[in-house]
C-alpha cells in the first residue's frame, strides 16, 4: 500500500482548507523583529542582531572569550531588547492573498471551503487534571495585523468562522472524511493526517527542497501507517511520519510537544513504530497499545493545576488518545466505542 500519492487524484471534487495559518503567515510576513543587548549598569548597547538565535550566540561568545582571556563578563548584566518593525495593513493582506494563492495553485482549480477558529475562546481540551496544560506553552504574542488578515479571508464567500472553541482543523477533517476520495484537506498541521479514507495535502513540505506539498492517503480502511521519512540534509536524523489511525496512536503514545502533551514517559518513535508494525486493523492497534499500557500498571502524576492524579492503564490510554484525537464535530470526542473496542 502506497500512503503517499504523487498528484491530486482526479476523484477530488472539494477541498477543505485549515485557514488559521494562512492569516497568521500573512500577518507575520510584514513584521521584522531585531534584537540587541543593553548593559543594565552602564547603558552600553550592542549592535543589532537579525534574530534571537544570533543574539543568543553573541552572549555565549562573550562568555567564552572572557573565559579564554581570563577577563570577566557577567551575562546577567545584559538585557536583551527586541525591536519590531511592522509594515502596513495593506501589505499584510497582500501577503495573506499570496499565501492563499501559493496553496491553491496545487489544487488545480478545485472548489474549496476554508475555516478559521474563533479567537479568545477556551480550548475544549484545556481542562484541569491533565499532567501538562493543553497548548499551555504556546506563545501569546499576536501579530499586529492578524485581525485584518482574518477579516480579509472571512470577507470571501469560501471562508467560514467556527465558534464555541471548535477548531478549524477539526471541521476540515470532518468535511473531508464525509466525502472520502472526493475530498481533500489542505493544512500545515500534521494532526490532520489522522484523517481516514480521504486525502491530506500537507503544505509544510513547501519549505523543503522539493518546494511542493505531499499528499497522504490512509487507505480505504483508514488504518494507515507510520514510517521513517528520510531527510536529505540530515541523513543521520530519523523523522517519523504517518497517516490515518496509526498516526493518531503514535501521537497519543509519543506525545506532541507543540500541543503540550507528552504521552508515555520514555516512549519515542522507535517504540511505537515497532509496537504497531504488524497491526492491520483498528482493533489490533488498540490491543497492542493496551498491552503496553497494562505492563506499566497504574500511573500517578501531579497535574498542572496541583492535583495528585492516579490513572489505571485503560484510563491513561484513553486520556492520551483523547488529547491527540481530532474531533469531527462540536459534540465529538474520542471513545473506544467508536472503534467497537473493549478490553
Q: What is the pLDDT at residue 119?
A: 87
Give the integer Cα–Cα distance in Å for 248 and 202: 16
Instruction: Kindly report, residue by residue over 227-241, the tens digit of the pLDDT.
Output: 987 655 555 667 889
- Provide the percentage of residues in the chain whose pLDDT is more than 90: 77
- Cβ pair 123, 165 in contact under 8 A: yes
Instruction: Kindly report, residue by residue over 290-334, the tens digit of the pLDDT.
Output: 999 999 999 999 999 999 999 999 999 999 999 999 999 888 999
205: Cα separation from own chain's centroid? 14
pTM, 2 dp: 0.85
Predicted confidence band of residue 124 (pLDDT cuts 50, 70, 90) = confident
Predicted confidence band of residue 212 (pLDDT cuts 50, 70, 90) = confident
Residue 208 has pLDDT above 70, yes or no: no
Q: What is the pLDDT at residue 125?
A: 87
Pick from 105, 86, 80: nearest CA to 26:
86
Instruction: Kindly report, residue by residue over 84-109, the tens digit of the pLDDT.
Output: 999 999 999 999 999 999 999 998 89
Amino acid at each position: 500500500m502506497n500512503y503517499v500519492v504523487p498528484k491530486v487524484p482526479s476523484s477530488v471534487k472539494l477541498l477543505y482548507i485549515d485557514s488559521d495559518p494562512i492569516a497568521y503567515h500573512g500577518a507575520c510576513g510584514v513584521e521584522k523583529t531585531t534584537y540587541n543587548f543593553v548593559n543594565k549598569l552602564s547603558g552600553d548597547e550592542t549592535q543589532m542582531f537579525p534574530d534571537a538565535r544570533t543574539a543568543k550566540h553573541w552572549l555565549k561568545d562573550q562568555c567564552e572569550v572572557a573565559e579564554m582571556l581570563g577577563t570577566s563578563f557577567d551575562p546577567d548584566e545584559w538585557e536583551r531588547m527586541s525591536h519590531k518593525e511592522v509594515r502596513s495593513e495593506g501589505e499584510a493582506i497582500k501577503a495573506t492573498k499570496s499565501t492563499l494563492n501559493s496553496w491553491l495553485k496545487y489544487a488545480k482549480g478545485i472548489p474549496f471551503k476554508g475555516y478559521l477558529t474563533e479567537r479568545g475562546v477556551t480550548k475544549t481540551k484545556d481542562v484541569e487534571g491533565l499532567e501538562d496544560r493543553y497548548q499551555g506553552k504556546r506563545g501569546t504574542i499576536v501579530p499586529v495585523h492578524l485581525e485584518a488578515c482574518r477579516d480579509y479571508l472571512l470577507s470571501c464567500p469560501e471562508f467560514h468562522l467556527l465558534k464555541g472553541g471548535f477548531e478549524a482543523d477539526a471541521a476540515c477533517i470532518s468535511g473531508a472524511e464525509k466525502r472520502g476520495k472526493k475530498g481533500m484537506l489542505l493544512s500545515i498541521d500534521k494532526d490532520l493526517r489522522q484523517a481516514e479514507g480521504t486525502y491530506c495535502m500537507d503544505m509544510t513540505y513547501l519549505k523543503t527542497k522539493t518546494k511542493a506539498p505531499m499528499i497522504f492517503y490512509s487507505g480505504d480502511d483508514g488504518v494507515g501507517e507510520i514510517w521513517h521519512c528520510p531527510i536529505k540534509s540530515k541523513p543521520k536524523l530519523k523523522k517519523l511520519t504517518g497517516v490515518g489511525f496509526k498516526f493518531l496512536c503514535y501521537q497519543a503514545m509519543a506525545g506532541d510537544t507543540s500541543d503540550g502533551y507528552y504521552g508515555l514517559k520514555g516512549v519515542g518513535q522507535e517504540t511505537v513504530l515497532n509496537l504497531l508494525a504488524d497491526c492491520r486493523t483498528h482493533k489490533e492497534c488498540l490491543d497492542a497499545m493496551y498491552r503496553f499500557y497494562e505492563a506499566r500498571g497504574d500511573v500517578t502524576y501531579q497535574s498542572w493545576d496541583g492535583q495528585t492524579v492516579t490513572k489505571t492503564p485503560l484510563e491513561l490510554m484513553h486520556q492520551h488518545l483523547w488529547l491527540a484525537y481530532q474531533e469531527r464535530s462540536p459534540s465529538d470526542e474520542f471513545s473506544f466505542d467508536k472503534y467497537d473496542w473493549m478490553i
